[in-house]
Amino acid sequence: MKFFTKQLLLAFILIGVNLASAQKGEESLENQYHFPQDDHYLNIKIGGDYVQPMGNTFTGDNLKSSGGFNLELSFNLFETPVLLGARFSSSSHDVIDQSLVGNYDETFNSFIGGFAGYQFFSRQKLRLTPSIGIGHVTYRQSINSNSFRDSGTTFWLNGEVSYNFVKWFALYGNVTLQNDYLKMDVPAELEDYFKSGHFVRFGLGVKFVL
Amino acid sequence: MGKLFLVASFISLLMADCEPNIENDKRVIIKGEIVDAQANPIQAIEVTSSVEEYVLGKTTSNTDGSFEMVAPESYDQSFLIAINVDAENNYTSAKIFRDEDQIGRPKIYDLGVVTLRPTSNFTLTTTRNSTTSGHVNVQINYLSTSCVYDFNNGLQEDPSLCYEQNYISRTTNEINSNLDLQVEVIRDILLQITYQIDEEPATTIEVTPNQQNFEYEIFY
What's residue B73's pLDDT? 94
Among A105, A153, A185, the strongest candidate for a mutation testing the B interface, having the largest count of B CBs within 10 A, is A185
Average per-residue pLDDT in chain A? 85
> Cα separation of A149 and A131, whole Å?
28
Q: Where are the beta strands (DSSP E) in A55-101?
A: 66-76, 82-94
Say yes or no to pLDDT of A6 above 90.
no
- Identify all chain B residues contacting A192, using CB atoms and an 8 Å cutoff: none
Say yes or no to pLDDT of A77 above 90.
no
- Supply the ipTM of this predicted assembly: 0.78
Average per-residue pLDDT in chain B? 87
What's residue A28's pLDDT? 42
Confidence category of residue A23, pLDDT binned at 50, 70, 90: very low
Among B18, B25, B58, the strongest candidate for a mutation testing the A interface, having the largest count of A CBs within 10 A, is B25
Asked if B72 lies within 8 A of A100 by C-beta distance, the reply is no
Say yes or no to pLDDT of B101 above 80.
no
What's residue A177's pLDDT? 97
> Cα separation of A132 and A154, whole Å?
11
Q: Exposed, middle or buried: residue A155 (CB in 10 Å: 0-12, 13-18, 19+)? A: middle
Rounded mean pLDDT, B180-186: 92
Mind telling me how many Å the CA of A171 is from chain B's nearest CA?
Answer: 38
Cβ-nearest to A187 among B22, B24, B108: B108
Say yes or no to pLDDT of A135 above 90.
yes
